Every structure is written in structure tokens, then in C-alpha cells.
Amino acid sequence: MNPAPPTNPDILPTAPAVSAKANANLDAASATIIDNPLLAALNAFHDLMQTRIAEYKVVQHNRDMCLRIQQIYAERDALQAEYERVKIQLEEYKARRRLKLRTRLGNLRPLAPSNINVPSVVPQTRV
């Protein structure tokens, strides 16, 4: 058995009564808000803070991008140093290979200095 609904309308108002009372309260609060200078200052401060937060996000993004650019430059410098190191190693390797080939060829035939002219045929004199 369900208990009977209360007869006092303030305890359990109907839906249209709730919305009418809420609208009346909202209208009264709006009038108070417009006339309250402290609340207007608070709203202005809130808007200023929202603007500052947006600016901070932009500045933070720029700072992050600057850090990323610095990181990219550091990576580039490291790669450039590695390139120079490998380039020197390659030149040293080439020099060792040339020396090895010269030594190997030198073992097969004697090398004559290039500034001495050695005739291939010795001229014979007639007697």
C-alpha cells in the first residue's frame, strides 16, 4: 500500500511548479549578479585568467618547439661528428690498402725510382 502524497505543495511540487519557481529564482539571481560589482570584478578576473592560461599554453608550446629544435641541432652535430670520424677511418683504410697493394706488387718485381731513366735496350758499339 502506497502512502498518500503529501498535501503541502512545498514538499513535493509538480513539474510545472518547479520550473516556474526555478525561473523566478534565476531571474532574481540574474538581477543580483548584474548589480553586484564584486561579482563583475570576479567575472573579469576569471576572463583574464582564462586568457592568461591560453597564452601560457601557446608559450609552453613554443618552449617545447624550441627544445625540440635544440635537440635536432644536437643530433645533427653528433651525426656530423660521426660522419667526420668515419670519413677519416675510410681515408686511413684506403691508405693501408694502397700500401698493401704496393708491397704486394713490390714483392713481384723490383721497383725502380721514377726519376732514373733505365734504357730497355743497351746500345752496342761496333768494333
The structural domain count of the chain equals 1
What span, in angstroms and rounded, lies between the C-alpha atoms of 98 and 90?
12
In the structure grid, which three cell numbers stand for residue 106, read together?
713490390
The whole model's pTM is what? 0.42
Residue 36 DSSP class: -
Tell me whether residue 115 is in a domain. Answer: no
Tell me whether residue 22 is in a domain. Answer: yes
pLDDT of residue 74: 95
H/E stretch holding 113 reads: none
* Residue partners of 65: CB distance under 8 A and separation at least 6: none
Tell me whether residue 118 is in a domain. Answer: no
Tell me whether residue 126 is in a domain. Answer: no
Tell me whether residue 119 is in a domain. Answer: no
pLDDT of residue 64: 92
Q: Is the pLDDT of residue 86 over 90?
A: yes
Range of the domain at 96: 15-107
Tell me whether residue 86 is in a domain. Answer: yes
Ranges 46-55, 69-78, 86-95, 98-107: which has the least confidence: 98-107
C-alpha distances out from residue 31 to 17, 24, 85, Å: 21, 11, 77
* Residue partners of 105: CB distance under 8 A and separation at least 6: 111
What span, in angstroms and rounded, lies between the C-alpha atoms of 27 and 20?
11
Tell me whether residue 54 is in a domain. Answer: yes
What span, in angstroms and rounded, lies between the C-alpha atoms of 52 and 104?
77
Residue 114 DSSP class: T
Tell me whether residue 29 is in a domain. Answer: yes
3-state secondary structure of 12: coil
Each residue's pLDDT tens digit, 12-45:
445 555 566 666 666 666 655 556 778 778 888 9
